[in-house]
Structure formats: C-alpha cells, structure tokens
Amino acid sequence: MSNSLILKAKDIDKAYQTVKNIRLEILKSVSIDIEENKISVIIGSSGAGKSTLLHILGGLDKPDSGEVIFNDTNIHHLSDDKLARFRNINIGFVFQFHHLLPEFTALENIMIPLMINGISEKKSQERANELLIETGLSERANHKPAELSGGEQQRVAVARALANDPQLILADEPTGNLDSVNSVILQDLFKNLKNKLNKTFVIVTHNQELISLADNLYEMKDGMIHKK
C-alpha cells in the first residue's frame, strides 16, 4: 500500500538576479513529494538552496515557476491574505534562530499564533500550557527567552510551531545553534511528535547527524534534489 502525500512540489524554478545582473539559478526544476506522518530530511552544503526550497514549500517565498500542492490546495495561487491564514493553520515553522519575541514569556510566545487565529485568550492559554507540557517545559512557562537555555528556546519555538495543530512542520537548521546534548533532545522531540501527534516534518540541514532522523532522505546539490 502506498503512503499518502501531504505536499507535492513540482518543477520548482527559482533564480536570483545579482547586482551585476548575473542570473543565479538556485533551484532547477526541483520536484519532491512529502509523505504524511514521516520525517523527510533534506541534506546539503551551505548555499545549496535548502532554505530557498523550504521557504517556497511553506509559502514564505514564491517560485519563478512550478507549483506546490498542500493536500488539495495550490498554495501559490492563494492571495497573500489567504496564504498567510493558510500557513498559520496548516504549517508550523522552526528556524535556526528561535525568533521568539523577547518581551514575552514562553507561554505568551506560544499563545500569539493562537490569538492571531481568533482563539480566545483563555483557550489559547490552555493550549499553550498543554504544549509546554508536551515539549517538557512546564516549569519554564513564565520565563522570557533570555531566561531560557538555547535548547529550551528552541523547544519553545517548536511548541509555538505546533500551536494551531498544523499537520506539517518545516524546520530550517533546527539544531544549528545547539550543542550535541540539546540537539539529541530536539531530535527525540521530533520523533515523539511524529509518533504521538501524527505530525509530518521536513527538515533541511547541513548537519549530517540529522540523517538518522530521516524516514525519507534527500540530498540537494547544485540546485537539484536527489532521493537517497
């Protein structure tokens, strides 16, 4: 029996024009099918185009040509407003730098995407507390980002990405700023979330250690992608 796909990207092209008017082809007809409830890892050296691809998969950036289908939605055909709303509900993002808001606590950082989504403050707080438990951070609810370790900050970022219960989580070098102990904790968290909450992950990284997380492994090189 074949596994179901959550996201299909087809023939994605992306080029940048440099100041000297040189055309840099970053993605060359990249196609990838993302299987539901799996961890797909895309490995590649710096400059390979991993972040560019991830941003296009998640609707943060537009391809020059090609399409991205999330379940049945062609995301780059949505208006900017609809796409922003679609992302907030369906896709969670985790970046190398946590991007938490410094003046808010861990709890409040997780509540923000819920409240943007129109959930009441009380319900948002309940949900954020659940997620703090899920990510092993219930003792840190009222800490601001500066009062958390790097590993804890990144787990709050994961909890925030999960706030609206998206099916898909896209992570760009999520362990890039972590020591090896915290990197392993984060990898275990991803595996648990996949198994327990049926989440789908796409992780792009240059870190070879993350290969062991992959149900499906890809390599990006020279703007092209190959399944390994």
Ligand X SMILES: Nc1ncnc2c1ncn2[C@@H]1O[C@H](COP(=O)(O)OP(=O)(O)O)[C@@H](O)[C@H]1O
Output the CA angle 168-149-158, nearest 5 degrees: 10
Draw the binding track, 24-63, toward Mg ion (x: CB under 5 A; -: no contact).
Answer: --------------------------xx------------
Q: Which of 2, 4, 21, 46 binds ligand X (CB under 6 A)?
A: 46
Task: Please give the distance of CA 108 from its chain centroid, rounded to a whole number.
Answer: 20
Draw the binding track, 101-130, toward Mg ion (x: CB under 5 A; -: no contact).
Answer: ------------------------------
Count of residues touching Mg ion (by CB under 5 A) = 2
Count of residues touching ligand X (by CB under 6 A) = 11
Residue 16 binds which of Mg ion, ligand X, none (CB < 5-8 A, kind-dependent)? ligand X
For helices 180-197 and 150-161, what crossing angle results, to 10°? Answer: 20
Residue 50 in the binding site for ligand X (CB under 6 A): yes
Q: What's the one-letter identity of residue 166?
A: P
DSSP-derived letter for residue 48 is S
Residue 48 in the binding site for ligand X (CB under 6 A): yes
Closest separation between CB of residue 128 and Mg ion, Å?
Answer: 29
DSSP count for the chain of H helices, then E strands: 6, 10
Distances from the Cα of 21 to the Cα of 63, 109, 178, 191, 222, angstroms: 19, 41, 38, 44, 20
Q: Which residues bind ligand X (CB under 6 A)?
A: 16, 24, 26, 44, 46-52
